[in-house]
Structure 1
């Protein structure tokens, strides 16, 4: 079983020929509205790969919440609303507007901030947290995306006590990152992840960067730290040993939206299946490469390109 804890959004995705400049209007080639968020996309990825997944996220009530909830359930993900019943009328999923550039598949994202939902752990006792986490134990995996941090910390502590593997999707540095990292067994960082006070890694001619960021993150607790860099090899620091994992070349790049989420979901799914960290990462980058050949974060699933 995989439990994902973090952000659930409504994504409004438009494909454009180019990003608009100041005071410019552009006409979209297509429009789609569906659920998104790192934890949500990761959960859907795991289900597509045959691993049951539960998503712990802020849902709330109202038309947006109803639409997102129906979409998540249709993807086969068990959805648990982390918002206490007494507060649900005041909460709805965050909204993200995504512009995907036709031809390159690059995307630009504008989203509302879910930080105001970060106090969902307030007043929770152990039984409440256990109800969110569900019946987990050794062999199960908890994936955090860094959002809803106080809630994520409470869930991670219980997961560690239950013997779960705890994984962090390190999209960017957040104030609670040190506490989260201390609870993690594995972390997969994005290229944009920066540790305050740690120099930005330089690259040599081979594309290999210095390991300042990986080393700093590893010393905070995780045994396995990786950093994705788009089409370039993934940098890895595992039990003090540094290596790289090659990223296969896609046949074409249609859309990079959600590719990082797919990496995290596929990585966690492989861990649930008993794969060691290195093998799980190798499997994950293959799945993510397949995903960018299709539109949207989950177009590859709808196209039957699961493998």
Structure 2
């Protein structure tokens, strides 16, 4: 089983001709409401590829949380809700996608200052754990208990100082900036459409990314991490897992919308 621990959001997704500037208004060509968040998107990707997946996150009892729960149920992802009973609004993001380029702009609150303890029943056991650093208390507990830990290190957060020492694989973007050097056995750095850099034992290899026509880049990194976790869980060598993650992320960016691309895997 794969355990994903981190952020789940409600995403309001607008497609526009171009992203508006300051004091400008834009008429959206389409609008969708969907569940999102790095850990959630990765969990749904891994489940769509065929792995049993459990997501530990914080949603709560607010009516908007039902949208997240239904999306997870529809994609066969088991949910452990650390915010069970909370009436607070779940994390909400606004995602603006530009037609033509597929580039996205995101405004989000993420988890804010909310903090939730590990559920009384503890965390499920898993062969592989993926954490994104959101909900720090849950993330650190999951990292310490993980048999094999993959870290989605998209943006530096202080909690990573407690997570990274436990990591077997760290996958970060080129924009990631850590106060300390990354010392995990395998470090993967993505560069959007550019080559992925994989470092092991002091040696760095470049893995090329095939060019694709982008329709929607929102969640591409999450899809990459979900596919990476799936392949590592299936026993693939790291380089092969990276290649598969690149393929899956490429499928994601070629299709507009949050979920339709899963049918092409």
Q: Supply the RMSD in Å over aligned alpha carbons.
A: 1.5
> Helix, strand or coil: the match of 1:133?
coil
* CA deviation vs aligned residue, 1:87-120 (integer Å, no higher than 9, x gap): x233332000000000000000000141322x31
Alignment CA distance shift 1:273-1:154 (3 Å): same
CA distance in 2, matches of 1:77, 1:113: 21
* Residue 134 of structure 1, aligned match among 104, 124, 142: 124
CA distance in 2, matches of 1:248, 1:93: 37
Task: Indicate if the aligned counterparts of 2:255 and 2:261 stay in contact, CA closer than 8 A.
Answer: yes
> Helix, strand or coil: the match of 1:271?
helix
Q: How does 1:9-48 map to 2 (within 5 A)?
A: 9-48=9-48
* Residue 120 of structure 1, aligned match among 116, 119, 123: 116
Query: Highest CA radius of gyration, 1 or 2?
Result: 1
> Helix, strand or coil: the match of 1:248?
coil
When structure 1 is superposed on structure 2, of 257-266 and 234-243 the one drifting more is 234-243
When structure 1 is superposed on structure 2, of 140-149 and 88-97 the one drifting more is 88-97
Q: Is 2:119 the partner of 1:158?
A: no
CA distance in 2, matches of 1:245, 1:22: 39
Task: Indicate if the aligned counterparts of 2:7 and 2:110 stay in contact, CA closer than 8 A.
Answer: no
Q: Is 2:105 the partner of 1:108?
A: yes
Give aligned pairs, total.
265
Q: How does 1:250-269 map to 2 (within 5 A)?
A: 250=212, 252-269=213-230
Instruction: Give 5+ residue unaligned stretches, structure 2.
Output: none
Flag the structure with higher helix content: 1
Q: Is 2:205 the partner of 1:243?
A: yes
Question: Which consecutive segments of 4 or more residues in structure 1 shift more than 4 A?
Answer: none
CA distance in 1, matches of 2:24, 2:32: 22
> Helix, strand or coil: the match of 1:35?
strand
CA distance in 1, matches of 2:67, 2:93: 14
Task: Indicate if the aligned counterparts of 1:115 and 1:148 stay in contact, CA closer than 8 A.
Answer: no
CA distance in 2, matches of 1:294, 1:107: 14
* Residue 217 of structure 1, aligned match among 182, 194, 200: 182
Instruction: Give 5+ residue unaligned stretches, structure 1.
Output: 199-215
* Residue 229 of structure 1, aligned match among 191, 194, 199: 191
CA distance in 2, matches of 1:26, 1:36: 23
